[in-house]
């Protein structure tokens, strides 16, 4: 049979090459070429196993390995020409291998399919991406812990509903994010552990009749074991969904911290300011200093969440085993990993160079009658008043202070005794914001000495 088919992917089944439109929708090499090193590593491991099992000759194995090394060098040095007509990274590498290793190259694809090949490549890439994100989060935690230690006693307003609630310390506030990012790192480790099973050798979906050694290829590529079911091996994308799920949570944590920075740097709060190198200006308003890096981190959470939603929708109706729909898995994973890496680096830079206005924060901590809970606690602790009754008494005194336009601690003892006759002068010891935070000595509390111990413990838990 003669025809115009020149595409090695289509082999002898088709007479003609795919049309331009088919090539356009089918090609993935524009984005999956970043898997080149992982694809070549998988091919080398597969080749070594084929030789070890006597499936191909040592001579052919050497020619294949040498050719793959040359291709790795060519791509790494920008000397490789990627062809969209070859669809993906796998066939681009194989086509070039045919030019370098001639007939020997044709033996490499024995006992494997692009289905198990691409799943293996993506797992190898994602392992590295996870390790990189973990390193980035560790660095961000280090910056946060340093700032928390330096500001363990800096009093600021603690907010609920964005309203003044109770005084806290800046160090305590920052350590909350250390814990969030610690959980993110735990999810990264969990995801890495679960994905570390090797699909290679599952072939298209049913395994192979060749006497392959899947344990050998799994070990060579750093996997814990081969995947147990060949159909699951080629159709599983749980590892990408799990990564995108944890990525979305991480992006939300980064977005929340970005929002804090935006608020703190606003004129209304004026708790902090960023250096010029991490701020932008306005094209029309010369006075503006905008925290655009923080705003972009806040916005990029939407991209990561969108990536998770996109892949969930792709996978939700797919029967076993492989469908070309799964080609849509890589771009959201790549984009989420890249977005998070950039966001983490930008956040660490902002927090490393941010300047906090301690006096302004302390002044704001006293607004809104933030020590009302301390007053209620004092009534319980000193006078033995039931908490609900103490809550009512404190609320009455807050109302009185609002009527007079003063703070709780500015009320006279006589005014306080109108609400509860047994109140004495010692009540004023708990009404200042410094006294308030110092009293919060419970484990996980905001007292400065507690914050210093918590920062030291966090350094051991997360950084050592």
Exposure of 405 by Cβ count < 10 A (0-12 exposed, 13-18 middle, 19+ buried)?
exposed
Q: How far apart are CA 369 and CA 367, in angstroms?
A: 6
Exposure of 464 by Cβ count < 10 A (0-12 exposed, 13-18 middle, 19+ buried)?
exposed
| Residue partners of 287: CB distance under 8 A and separation at least 6 | none
> Which residues lie across from 163 on neighbouring strands?
160
Q: How many residues can be counted in the chain?
A: 464
> Which residues lie across from 60 on neighbouring strands?
none
> 198 φ, ψ to 5°?
-95, 125
Q: Which helix (H) or strand (E) holds 156?
A: strand 155-160
| Residue partners of 18: CB distance under 8 A and separation at least 6 | 7, 10, 26
- CB 58 within 8 Å of CB 9: no
- CB 133 within 8 Å of CB 104: no
Catalytic site includes residue 90: no
Using the Cα atoms of residue 70, residue 71, residue 73 and residue 77 in order, give the sign of their dihedral.
Answer: positive
The residue annotated as part of the active site, out of 161, 277, 426, 442, is 161
> 388 φ, ψ to 5°?
-60, -35
Q: How far apart are CA 74 and CA 61, in angstroms?
A: 20
User: Shortest CA distance to 240 belongs to which of 135, 318, 346, 294?
Assistant: 318
User: Shortest CA distance to 33 belongs to which of 72, 90, 96?
Assistant: 90
Catalytic site includes residue 85: no
Q: How far apart are CA 277 and CA 282, in angstroms?
A: 15
CA angle in degrees (0–180, nearest 5) for 115-120-123: 130
- CB 119 within 8 Å of CB 199: yes
The residue annotated as part of the active site, out of 57, 73, 266, 282, is 282
- CB 395 within 8 Å of CB 375: no
Locate all alpha helices (DSSP H) within 236-328, ordered by sequence.
238-264, 292-315
Give the residue numbers marked as catalytic.
161, 282
């Amino acid at each position: 049979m003669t025809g115009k088919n020149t595409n090695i992917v289509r082999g002898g089944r088709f007479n003609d090459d795919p049309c331009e439109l088919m090539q356009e929708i089918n090609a993935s090499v524009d984005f999956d070429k970043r898997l080149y090193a992982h694809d070549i590593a998988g091919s080398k491991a597969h080749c070594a196993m084929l030789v070890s099992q006597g499936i191909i000759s040592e001579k052919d194995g050497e020619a294949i390995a040498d050719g793959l090394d040359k291709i790795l060098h060519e791509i790494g040095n920008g000397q490789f020409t990627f062809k969209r007509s070859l669809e993906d990274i796998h066939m681009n590498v194989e086509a070039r291998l045919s030019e370098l290793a001639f007939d020997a190259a044709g033996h490499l694809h024995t006992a494997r399919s692009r289905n198990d090949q691409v799943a293996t490549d993506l797992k190898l890439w994602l392992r590295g991406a996870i390790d990189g994100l973990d390193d980035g989060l560790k660095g961000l935690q280090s910056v946060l812990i340093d700032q928390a230690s330096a500001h363990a006693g800096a009093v600021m307003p603690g907010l609920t509903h964005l309203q003044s609630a109770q005084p806290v310390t800046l160090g305590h506030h920052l350590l909350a994010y250390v814990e969030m990012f610690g959980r993110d790192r735990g999810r990264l480790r969990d995801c890495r552990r679960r994905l570390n099973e090797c699909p290679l050798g599952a072939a298209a979906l049913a395994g192979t009749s060749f006497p392959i050694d899947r344990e050998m290829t799994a070990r060579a590529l750093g996997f814990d074991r081969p995947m147990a079911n060949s159909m699951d091996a080629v159709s599983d994308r749980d590892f990408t969904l799990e990564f995108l799920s944890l990525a979305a949570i991480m992006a939300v944590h980064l977005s929340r911290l970005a929002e804090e920075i935006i608020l703190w740097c606003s004129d209304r709060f004026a708790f902090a300011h960023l250096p010029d190198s991490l701020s932008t200006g306005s094209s029309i308003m010369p006075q503006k200093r905008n925290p655009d890096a923080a705003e972009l981190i806040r916005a990029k959470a939407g991209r990561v969440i969108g990536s998770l939603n996109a892949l969930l929708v792709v996978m939700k109706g797919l029967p076993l085993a492989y469908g070309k729909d799964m080609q849509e898995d890589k771009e959201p994973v790549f984009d989420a990993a890249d977005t998070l890496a950039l966001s983490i680096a930008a956040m660490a830079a902002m927090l490393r160079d941010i300047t906090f206005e301690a006096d302004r924060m302390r002044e704001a901590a006293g607004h809104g009658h933030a020590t009302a809970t301390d007053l209620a606690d004092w009534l319980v602790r000193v006078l033995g008043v039931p908490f609900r009754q103490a809550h009512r008494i404190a609320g009455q005194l807050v109302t009185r202070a609002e009527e007079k336009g003063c703070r709780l601690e500015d009320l006279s003892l006589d005014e306080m005794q109108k609400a509860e006759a047994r109140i004495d002068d010692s009540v004023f010891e708990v009404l200042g914001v410094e006294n308030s935070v110092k009293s919060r000595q419970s484990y996980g509390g905001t007292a400065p000495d507690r914050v210093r111990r918590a920062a030291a413990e966090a350094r051991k838990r997360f950084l050592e």
